[in-house]
Amino acid sequence: MEKPLTALKDGDSGVITSIKENPGHGRGAGWGFQKRLMDMGLTPGTKVTVIKSAPFNGPVEVSVRGSRLALGRGMAERIFVAMDK
């Protein structure tokens, strides 16, 4: 079952299936943010664990490849993962 990273509860993990382009924008913007995420280790097939989300729809802290990252909400919404179960 595929869902956005933001739908995961704290402590849940999943495997990244895809990172959706920023809707309504040209290649430049979408490419930049996708590339950045992948450079930080969020490549398709990687396991991510949600550590916690900041309140009021704030950023999401995730653990990936042994490091911890804070991701803005809008971006986390475009990262799709397949749940373990």
Applying CB under 8 A, which of residues 2, 3, 4, 43 lies at the interface with another protein?
43
Q: Which of helix, strand or coil describes residue 72?
A: coil
Nearer to another protein, 7 or 69 (CB): 69
Applying CB under 8 A, which of residues 3, 20, 57, 82 lies at the interface with another protein?
57
Report the nearest approach of another protein to the CB of residue 81 (Å): 15
Structure tokens at 74: 């809008």
Applying CB under 8 A, which of residues 11, 23, 67, 84 lies at the interface with another protein?
67
Question: If binding is defined by CB under 8 A, does position 81 make contact with another protein?
Answer: no
Question: If binding is defined by CB under 8 A, does position 17 make contact with another protein?
Answer: no
Report the nearest approach of another protein to the CB of residue 24 (Å): 9
Q: Counting every residue, how long is the chain?
A: 85
CA 50 to mean position of chain CA atoms: 9
**Residue 75 neighbours by CB distance under 10 Å:** 19
Q: Where are the alpha helices (DSSP H) in the chain?
A: 27-39, 73-76
